Structure 1
């Protein structure tokens, strides 16, 4: 059952990546069918140490170092899930997941319908994603829209340690496959009070991070902190009261929260790290246009990455939406 943090609850101060590990540790302790698999997830604890020391607790049969084959990792996870296990497969970076794309969209996403409900694919496919850490090529992609477009896959992206633990536990328990993307830019950027106990955060529910009345700003993942910073600065410096909605789950998308926020403000901005064309920001914009057009007071603005391959170090900070660019987008919408 999902829950909110209470004063009486025992908590621990965790970073986002520590919350990933805590969720895995919790569910592996709760359910023997949960296994972790991927390149270097065992003794090395994963490239970002998200699985550190799990092999010491649960052994090599449940924390499985795989060959360097993303297609093999995904295909093995699908087979395990079909026969009742709950694999959590790690891809070292989202930019490495493309060799597994066929397994994910042709098999994981379709297993339930293909078997007429006889089999399901209760598997989680984890990947750090996004830029901002000065990594080389193929390490900084934000291509979540590829998977949002595929029916049968759920896509979840947390932005806080609290949500990370609860959403990952929920994803592991889900009967269908979940693409669980972890914003590595904020893996260790801040800490949060996280319950030591078992809890879940539902998939498909957005979270209003900041109440506001002038404009609704929709975002997710690593773009949530700079969006919050921009909103706070605009309120303090210019009196612009922005509501910030963290979508958290991109598929299913919480259309009701999006619509309720937009009805209140009549103006919208969507902030995404991914390139502009064909992104989730476009889907949010289309949802508003189709469902609640008569509440609209100004064109919806998209503050995004650019339609280019993710750049290397010198241009990385220019590529990513940062508070100044987000403020410009909000200001333009409010002043229309």
Structure 2
């Protein structure tokens, strides 16, 4: 008992981690809480983030702790409050701008791209823009076409933005802290269906200074036959598919995120499966190591249907990953 108190005395969240794991929602909440406490320039604004504790309860408890000046409820006007946040970043503050869903960022895309993304470069590095735009991204469940779009590729093609798409609680906690501390604008794409999923976190990850470097992929599972590359929720799908395929003698390597890990992985697995990956791989040196063409498994090219059975057939499933791996390996 005394050892327990010694190890975790400085972290109430570590106790939760030891007992039940930390879900993605709480990991995000912890990251914002610790960064708000660490740097008085950090503040959060968006619709329902304060008194209501956030539409998805990601900001739960922060308004009571930090008050109206640090946790700010805004009107329903994405263009307006995104512009306020960008201006605050110009003035030296470090805003976290929450979109209730990234689909609503379309109302503020001029602020995100023309104001936030381009200013640091156009000022020759004189004017940093330390802002994080965050919120749920991609398909959820039963929310139809206008609430189900994935903006990873949209914003990933815009120079000046760092785009982050976390999978588990370690990603969420470490990457959000890194994003808040970054002097560049960061687009932080969460997944609504992952908010309540718990993951065990180590004492190292629970440390207040732990960050995950932006732009560094991680091998979640070692393998020798083929590399599965994904991000966000589909990393879990790839791991589940890899477990099924292992029973058939196929060892899949699973990479969480994109290009910097692909060369290393593909150079010895000699095959590649991509989920929602950018087509830049064709220009990567690893292309020469492939024994078969790369295969992409993504959502079908239609607006998201509302009906659940159609929705399930519109987004990648574990069976689709298994089918594609077998296709690449000629099984």
TM over 0.5: yes
- Any conservation in 2 of the 1:215–1:243 contact (CA below 8 Å)? yes
Q: 2:110 aligns with which of 83, 88, 102?
A: 102
Q: 1:313 aligns with which of 298, 307, 328?
A: 307
Structure 1 Cα separation of the partners of residues 130 and 46 of structure 2: 17
Q: Report deviation, 1:154.
A: 0.2
Structure 2 Cα separation of the partners of residues 130 and 240 of structure 1: 30
Q: Report deviation, 1:287.
A: 3.8
**Partner secondary structure for residue 96 of structure 1:** helix
Aligned to 1:233: 244
- Any conservation in 1 of the 2:153–2:278 contact (CA below 8 Å)? no
Structure 1 Cα separation of the partners of residues 144 and 47 of structure 2: 18
**Partner secondary structure for residue 147 of structure 2:** coil
- Listed as ranges, the matches of 1:1-336 within 5 Å are 11=14, 12=17, 13-193=21-201, 195-198=205-208, 199-236=210-247, 238-247=248-257, 255-272=259-276, 280-283=277-280, 285-288=281-284, 291-314=285-308, 315-335=310-330
- Any conservation in 1 of the 2:216–2:260 contact (CA below 8 Å)? no
Which structure dedicates a bigger proportion of its chain to strand? Answer: 1
- Any conservation in 2 of the 1:155–1:180 contact (CA below 8 Å)? yes
Normalising by structure 2, what TM-score?
A: 0.91
Runs of 4 or more above 3 Å deviation:
none
Matched residues, number: 312
Q: Report deviation, 1:335.
A: 1.4
Question: Unpaired segments of 5 or more residues in structure 1?
Answer: 1-7, 248-252, 273-279
Aligned to 1:275: none
Q: Report deviation, 1:29.
A: 0.5
Aligned to 2:3: none
- Of structures 1 and 2, the one with the larger relative CO (CA 8 A, separation 6+) is 1
- Any conservation in 2 of the 1:271–1:281 contact (CA below 8 Å)? no
Structure 2 Cα separation of the partners of residues 100 and 229 of structure 1: 37
- Any conservation in 2 of the 1:128–1:182 contact (CA below 8 Å)? yes
Structure 2 Cα separation of the partners of residues 172 and 45 of structure 1: 20
Tell me: CA distance 1:112–1:322, structure 2 relative to 1, closer, same or farther (3 Å).
same
- Any conservation in 1 of the 2:41–2:93 contact (CA below 8 Å)? yes
Which structure dedicates a bigger proportion of its chain to helix? Answer: 2
Question: Unpaired segments of 5 or more residues in structure 2?
Answer: 1-6
